Amino acid sequence: MTMEILMRIQKRFLFFFLALIPLAVLIASLGRVFPSIGLNTKDNHRQKNILAMSEIYYRQTFNNCAPYSAMAAINIITKKEIDPELLARETGWRIKNNLTMPQGLIQVLHKHGIKTKEKVLSCYSDAEKINWIKNTVDEGKPIILLIKIKKVLHYVTVIGYDEKGFILYDSLQEKTKSNPRKTIKDKPQYYGNRYYEYSGLIKLWDKGGYKIFFKNWALVCG
């Protein structure tokens, strides 16, 4: 077999491989279209449950809500305080304007030993979504949601709930006057820095995703 023939074969394999990449991305994305089945949506949760988190309520840098949300999940599960800017440098699957695809969030969490499970609740009722979030928190697992707020897609980490709403870590929370790197807290008596009534968070979650992809997408951590 001549060198020229070998070169032709190598080129054909390369073209074939490159052609498979968009197909692989499409197949992976389709997994985020169809709703998850068998989720625990029963109304059997507590009145209040908030997962403990260190006082690391940082205000994110430009379009870095994914690594900052990962920081919160890692802290809750491992009690380690990791610099979110380090996580930002480790995060892949970035697209235009530093936006992060969900796979980038998953990979950086896996790198730090955090197990994850993707869920899609697009065909569930509001009450079922609320119950599922509460039941998942009761398992000791923070949840990263993809929401849309002020026409911008945004990751937040749900860490608890009380009788009226959900407690989150939100890296876009308002800055403190004393330290622009830190954020204020809606409920100073709770862990977390953001509080939404149940219906308020569900509405923002319903708006999340891109067209049919990642609608009511959630990442269970731990």
In a domain, 2, yes or no: no
φ/ψ of 83, rounded to 5, equals -60, 120
User: Rounded to an integer, what distance in angstroms lies between the CA atom of residue 66 and that of residue 87?
Assistant: 9
Quick one: CA dihedral 14, 17, 18, 19, positive or negative? positive
Question: Which residues make Cβ contacts (< 8 Å) with residue 47, sequence separation at least 6?
Answer: 162, 163
User: Rounded to an integer, what distance in angstroms lies between the CA atom of residue 202 and that of residue 74?
Assistant: 24
φ/ψ of 154, rounded to 5, equals -155, 135
Q: How many domains does the chain have?
A: 1
Amino acid letter, 176 = T
Question: Which residues make Cβ contacts (< 8 Å) with residue 37, sequence separation at least 6?
Answer: none
In a domain, 6, yes or no: no
- List C-alpha distances in Å: 146 to 28, 97, 178: 17, 17, 30
Model confidence at 21: pLDDT above 80? no
Q: What is the pLDDT of residue 9?
A: 62
Domain ranges, residue 164: 31-221
In a domain, 24, yes or no: no
CATH number of the domain enclosing 54: 3.90.70.10
In a domain, 8, yes or no: no
Q: What is the pLDDT of residue 63?
A: 97
Phi-psi category of 157—alpha, beta or left, where left has phi over 0 and alpha has psi -120 to 50?
beta
What is the pTM for the complete model shown?
Answer: 0.87
In a domain, 111, yes or no: yes
| 144 against 8, higher pLDDT | 144
Model confidence at 15: pLDDT above 60? no
In a domain, 26, yes or no: no
In a domain, 11, yes or no: no
Write out the H or E segment, with its range, that includes residue 153: strand 152-161
Q: What is the pLDDT of residue 23?
A: 44
Q: Are strands 116-120 and 217-221 parallel, antiparallel or unpaired?
A: antiparallel
In a domain, 133, yes or no: yes
Q: Which among 5-14, 22-31, 125-134 has the top mean pLDDT?
A: 125-134
Express as a percent the part of the chain with pLDDT over 70: 86
| Residue 26: pLDDT band with limits 50, 70, 90 | very low
